[in-house]
Amino acid sequence: MSRRTTVILDEDVYRRLVDESLRRHGTTKAISKVINEMLKKAFKCKGEILDILLSEKVAETSVKEFESFRRGLSGRFES
C-alpha cells in the first residue's frame, strides 16, 4: 500500500532526484519511484551490514596480534 507524504528537500538533493528521475524514467514525474527505489536499496544495505556486525564471529585475534597488524598496515600507508 502506498502512502502520500510531504518531504522538504534541500535544493541540491531535489536537483539530483530530478536528474536521476530523468535518467532512469525519462520524466520528472517518477521522483517518488526513484526515492522508493533508493530508500529500499539503502535499507537493504543497512540490514546486510547489521547482519554482518551481529553475526557470530568466525575468527579470533588477540590485542597483541591486532596491534602488530595495525602497525604493519600503517607502515605500508606511510611508505
- The residue assigned the cell 528521475 is 21
* 79 has pLDDT over 80: no
pLDDT at 55: 86
| Closest among 14, 34, 32 to 24, alpha carbons compared | 34
Band (7; pLDDT cuts 50, 70, 90): very high
Q: What is the pLDDT of residues 14-71, one digit of tens each?
A: 999 999 999 999 999 999 999 999 999 988 888 888 888 788 877 888 999 999 999 9
End-to-end alpha carbon distance in the chain: 56
Dist. CA 70–CA 29, nearest whole Å: 50
| Closest among 41, 19, 21 to 33, alpha carbons compared | 21
Cell of 72: 604493519
